[in-house]
Amino acid sequence: MRILVLGGDGYLGWPTALHLSQRGHEVGVADSLVRRHYDDEMGVSSLVPIRQLQRRVSTWKEVSGHTIQPFIGDLTNYAFVTETLRSFEPEAVVHFAEQRSAPYSMIDRDHAVYTQVNNVVGTLNMLYAIAELDPSIHLVKLGTMGEYGSPNIEIEEGFIEITHKGRTDLLPFPKQPNSFYHLSKVHDSHNIMFACRTWGLRSTDLNQGIVYGQQTPETVLHPDLATRVDYDAVFGTVLNRFAVQAAVGYPLTVYGKGGQTRAMLEIRDTLACVELACLNPAEAGEFRVFNQFTESFSVRQLAEWVQRVAPMDVKIESIPDPRVEKEEHYYQAVTTRLPELGLKPHLLGDDFVRSLVELAVRHKDRVNVEAIRPTVNWRVTRSEVSVAGGSVGE
């Protein structure tokens, strides 16, 4: 297939592009490179050194013999979106190209507005461009399990059958997002569903859990192909962050009781899920939702796992939760569609947790310890974050 990966310079977009290319697909990547500017703003950098996109692309061609075509531009620029689609003529568009951090969206009003404009407008532009140029393009959109929140009922896969006053309908599952970032994803889902119903577009909304890990069969072929690892309290995902904290002797920061339970999956499973969605497209006019995760863990479970298997003494510290959320809650979610399509998950084990810590130890001289502790507080409307080398928060 011809597949265009939006956000193809990012943590997941880049290894997805490599995986699809290695599997024989013709791949293009589009990116504004803004994720690298967030590092400059926050005063941090990836734990693992990463190369510029053009160097990544040229190294991939040398290593694999496959070509990835880069497009540099912003999805909020409609001319760039239409020009890219006309040039590459994709059969599927994989959409990672959004500001992905809940803490970043909660720093202050400016960051909340930026997140929503960047994410919602970029997706709207893509929907209009597909409708205008080629409605047969399948949009594979990366959503988040965070759209659902943590309801006290089982989380169904996108939709729920409701009986009310004697009448029954299949409706979108109620959303209880926990940040302006997660709200932007909810807006995306509603806009995409409307576009499919109204214009006959086809889309798969992948409500993805928290991703952990850094290495894939393609990224390990050459140092230039490595993808980023974030450990700071703004962009670092929980297990990756704990591994880095252990490596530098910093207590594992558990928010409150640590009973917050999250759906999770390993990075290689993200790549497999995306390809399965592309190879099995939605029908014209269909908006479908796949819950994309393999296991669920509480924050405290993950901290205790790192503490148990790490080859060094690791302490766990409970700190006040900067978020407005239940610190312990019921969490049970359904995932059926991807396993039915053939997903064979990589489940978390001691060896993998230990390998994350070992990766962090190899690069621990790159860690800015001041970036670990959270300083962004959901309960205030002004920024409490110091940037350009200071502390950052979640």
Mean pLDDT for the stretch of residues 82-108: 98
Calculate the CA 123 to chain-centre distance.
15
**pLDDT above 80 (res 132):** yes
pLDDT at 372: 97
* pLDDT tens string 41-72: 999 999 999 999 999 999 999 999 999 999 99
**Residue 381's pLDDT band (boundaries 50, 70, 90)?**
confident
- Catalytically active residues, by annotation: 144, 181, 185
Can you read off the two tokens belonging to residue 101? 């951090």
**pLDDT above 70 (res 384):** no
Sign of CA dihedral 331, 177, 375, 364: positive
196-235 burial, b for 16+ CB within 10 Å, e for fewer?
A: beeeebbbbbbbbbbbbbbbbebbebeebbbbbbbbbbbb
CATH superfamily of 2-371: NAD(P)-binding Rossmann-like Domain (3.40.50.720)
Work out the mean pLDDT of the chain and round it to a whole number: 96
* pLDDT tens string 264-307: 999 999 999 999 999 999 999 999 999 999 999 999 999 999 99
Q: Report the alpha-carbon angle 141-145-146, nearest 5.
A: 110
Beta-carbon contacts of residue 265 (< 8 Å; ≥ 6 apart): 208, 209, 210, 211, 212, 273, 292, 293, 294, 295, 345
Eight-class DSSP state of 12: T
Cα distance between residue 254 and residue 113, in whole Å: 29
Q: What is the largest distance, in Å, between two alpha-carbon atoms of the chain?
A: 64
Mean pLDDT for the stretch of residues 12-18: 98
**pLDDT above 80 (res 382):** no
**pLDDT above 60 (res 341):** yes
pLDDT at 388: 38
pLDDT at 389: 36
Question: Do residues 210 and 230 make contact, with C-beta atoms less than 8 angstroms apart?
Answer: no
Percent of the chain with pLDDT over 90: 96
**Residue 179's pLDDT band (boundaries 50, 70, 90)?**
very high
Mean pLDDT for the stretch of residues 318-330: 96
**pLDDT above 70 (res 365):** yes
Can you read off the two tokens belonging to residue 331? 């969490």
pLDDT at 259: 98
pLDDT at 383: 52
* pLDDT tens string 234-246: 999 999 999 999 9
